[in-house]
Amino acid sequence: MPPVRIRVYGLFSMTRRSYLFIQATGLVIALIGLTVVRYLPRPAPAMNPTLMQSLLIGLLDWLPAIGILILLAEALETVLILQRFASKQAELDQKTESDHRMDWKKR
């Protein structure tokens, strides 16, 4: 039986394996990015920082927290998509089982 495919975001038809590969790749990239941002050197505090300097420092300070929130949203999305895969698989299994029963009755 071919693998179950669902449309993700209404755009891409994917198997569970391809979806999990993409999610795992994104997770590794995000974790590397969060680690790099965490250890970036912070600029020395200026006596009168410009607006742009203040925004950059604020962004660097909040970026790890924003990244963690995005990772949590991605985890929720992954759970929901995997539930859709499971639902579609159960639907196909039920259909296959009923087809086998009909074939058995015909004999």
Answer whether residue 45 shows pLDDT above 80: no
Q: Please write the tens of the pLDDT for every residue from 62-89.
A: 888 998 999 999 999 999 999 999 999 9
- Whether 104 shows a pLDDT value over 70: the answer reads no
Cβ proximity of 5 and 17 under 8 Å: no
Give the list of residues 6+ apart from residue 82 with CB closer than 8 angstroms, or none.
Answer: 16
**Selected residue with higher pLDDT from 96 and 43:** 96
State the pLDDT at residue 38.
82
Residue 102: is its pLDDT beyond 90? no
In the chain, how many domains are there?
Answer: 1
Q: What is the mean pLDDT of the chain?
A: 87
Which of 65, 6, 13, 14 has its CA nearest to residue 37?
65
- Higher-pLDDT residue of 22, 1: 22
Q: In which domain, by residue range, is 52 found? A: 5-106
